[in-house]
Every structure is written in structure tokens, then in C-alpha cells.
Amino acid sequence: MTFFQMIRRSAAGLLLSAGLASGASAAMVDITITNTQGSDGLYLTPLLSVLHDGTFDPFDSGSAASGAVELLAEEGDASGVLGDALAAGAAAGVITAPGGFAGAPVIDPGETASIRLDVNPASQRFLSFMAMVIPSNDIFIGNDNSMAYEVFDALGQFTGLGPISIYTDDAWDAGTEVNNGLGAPFNMAGGVATDVDGLITPASDRLFFLAGQETAAGSTVSLPSGRNLLATIEVSQVPLPAGFPLLLVGLGAFAYLRRSRA
């Protein structure tokens, strides 16, 4: 076997093993949300994005909201659910936006924001997300365990998941406060919220009570009647750098030479 044949064999083996490893245990994805509302539409708090093994289940329709979900639905604070996701071994982060209200990086009508996550396609295959709808009392968007989106298949291959469309009637009511706008963050109605011990249910047309409510941004909410698009979420896999295969060849050759000289 010639010197160059030995290098090619070593490099090919390294490329194969690295390719298998990268396909099964390492990937990067960009998650992008766009608030598709008009200028006088609804706002969204920073979007919690979770890639998990399919068992992470922050909420269920017909069940009481956990303390972490209540905090997200009433205040837009995703820290509790984020902590639960990370403790469960998920890859997770919160998408913030450069605009929003002063000191609050919420996602304005018409605004787009993204996050990049390092994931293991074998164990972090499914996407779940959550965000509060502003200026509601406790209405949020999200998908429970039974509705998680498959980003990677069982072999660790990217599924090419298309855009996820979220309509106003896809939102959820946490069932923890009366939906009257009083005491709601970012809502200028003022007053004090009324707590209730309800269950998580589809919000259906309950979002429409927000029409005419004034937000902290100075806008007055205007909602078209009927079903209308609230947001879209897109997931894309970040390709490896163009020079990555050449780097692997070089590393393979270097490793072989070190072994042969030992």
C-alpha cells in the first residue's frame, strides 16, 4: 500500500465515522418566529423553543396549569418552563426580539426573530413552543406533547419541516385569570386581575375580547373577525461549514501519520 493510499483509507474512515456522528449526535438548527399580525394587532412575549425526545409535556388540555405554565401565561416569564425543559435533557432557549416595549423584548406585529440551538438529533427530535399573547390575561400559544412537531426522524435526519402556521383559534386559555384585561401585563386597562381555578382549554374566540384594548406600546388592538393568522414558526438546519470535509481529510492524514510513526 502506497503512502497516498494509506492517507486516503485513513481519511475515508474518519470521514465516515465523523459523518455518522454528526448525523446522529450533533446538529444546529435555527428557529424563527414571525408575528404576522397587522400594526394594531396582538403582540407575543419571547418564544420558548424546546427540542426534546417526545416526552416533554409542559401542559395538557383539560388539566390545571402548573406554576411554571401559569407564570408564562400570565406574565410572559418562560423561566420556569425553560428550567423544566433543560432538566429533562432538552435543548431549549427563548427567542427575544430587538423591538418590543421598553425593557421587554417582546415580538411586535410584523416582527421576526430567531434563535440557534445545538441539538442531538437522536434525542432532541421534537419541537414544542410557548409564548404569552399580549395584552391578554392568561392566553398563550403552544403545543402540548401530543402535538409536538418532528424536526428529525428516527434516523436523525432533518425532516424539512415546513412553516408552522398559528391562528388565533389555536391559542390556549390557561384558566388562571378572568379574561377582562384588568391587571394584565402590557395592557393599559389597569385594575387588578381576578384569579380563578380553571383548566387549560382552547381559547377559541376568547381572544376577541381584546379588540379595543390599549397596549403599553400605545396601540389599540384591532382584530379581524373570524380566524386569522397570528404567527408562523420555521425550523431550518444549519449546514456544516464548506471546508469541513477538507478539515476531516487533513485530520485523518495527520492522525494516520502519528500512528505510523509511533
Q: Stretch 79-105: mean pLDDT, rounded?
A: 90
- 49-84 pLDDT per residue, tens: 999 999 999 999 999 999 999 999 999 999 999 999
**Confidence at residue 3, expressed as pLDDT on a 0 to 100 scale:** 28
The contacts of residue 245 (CB under 8 Å, 6+ apart) are 15
Q: Is residue 117 in a domain?
A: yes
pLDDT for residue 215 is more than 90? yes
Q: Is residue 57 in a domain?
A: yes
| Whole-structure pTM value | 0.83
Q: Which residues pair with 157 in a beta bridge?
A: none
Mean pLDDT of the residues in the chain? 85
Residue type, 217: A
Q: Is residue 5 in a domain?
A: no
Confidence band for 41, pLDDT divided at 50, 70 and 90: very high
pLDDT for residue 14 is more than 50? no
**Confidence at residue 22, expressed as pLDDT on a 0 to 100 scale:** 43
CATH number, domain with residue 74: 2.60.40.2130
Q: Stretch 175-197: mean pLDDT, rounded?
A: 95
pLDDT for residue 30 is more than 50? yes
Q: Which residue has the higher pLDDT, 6 or 31?
A: 31
The contacts of residue 198 (CB under 8 Å, 6+ apart) are 64, 173, 174, 175, 176
- 108-164 pLDDT per residue, tens: 999 999 999 999 999 999 999 999 999 999 999 999 878 899 999 999 999 999 999
Confidence band for 100, pLDDT divided at 50, 70 and 90: low
> What is the percent of the chain with per-residue pLDDT over 90, rounded to a whole number?
70
Q: Of how many residues is the chain composed?
A: 262
pLDDT for residue 29 is more than 50? yes
Q: Is residue 177 in a domain?
A: yes
Q: Is residue 6 in a domain?
A: no
Give the C-alpha separation, 179 to 41, whole Å: 17
Q: Is residue 86 in a domain?
A: yes
**Confidence at residue 261, expressed as pLDDT on a 0 to 100 scale:** 54
Give the C-alpha separation, 151 to 164, whole Å: 12
Give the lowest-confidence range in 58-62, 93-97, 166-170, 205-209. Answer: 205-209
Q: Is residue 94 in a domain?
A: yes
Give the number of domains in the chain. Answer: 1
pLDDT for residue 249 is more than 60? no
Residue type, 210: L
Domain that holds residue 123: 27-239
Q: Is residue 84 in a domain?
A: yes
Q: Stretch 198-215: mean pLDDT, rounded?
A: 92
